[in-house]
Amino acid sequence: MPKHKLLVMDMWFKATKSWHRKFEPRVRVWKLKEEKTREEYRCMVRDKVEEAEWKGLDVNEHWQQMKSIVMKTAQNKCGMTNCGGMRRLLKQLGKRR
């Protein structure tokens, strides 16, 4: 006499739509391909690095300070992406994704 029995049933699952990702603004680094923007960015970073205090910092603090200088300068010089930018652009062009 077997102790296991076959169980048959129908199950329905309701799928949730999780296709929306949270938008994270990004630095527009592609603007650095322009010669004028790239040179201005370089000069701004060089000036900020020369002004910064580097003595007495360990490697991680040195790295974080350098990262902060590079990222903040890029944000100021190149700008950040915005959420509806692509949608607005496509709407202006009359296209759909």
H or E element: which one contains 83? none
Sign of CA dihedral 38, 41, 46, 47: positive
pLDDT value at position 59? 92
Encode 51-78: b = buried (16+ Cβ within 10 Å), e = exposed: eeeeeeeeeeeeeebbeebeeebbeebb
Q: Return the higher-pLDDT residue of 65 and 18.
A: 65
CA–CA separation, 33 and 29 (whole Å): 8
Q: Return the higher-pLDDT residue of 94 and 69.
A: 69
In tens, the pLDDT along 9-55 reads 998 888 777 666 777 888 999 999 999 999 999 999 999 999 998 88
pLDDT value at position 16? 75
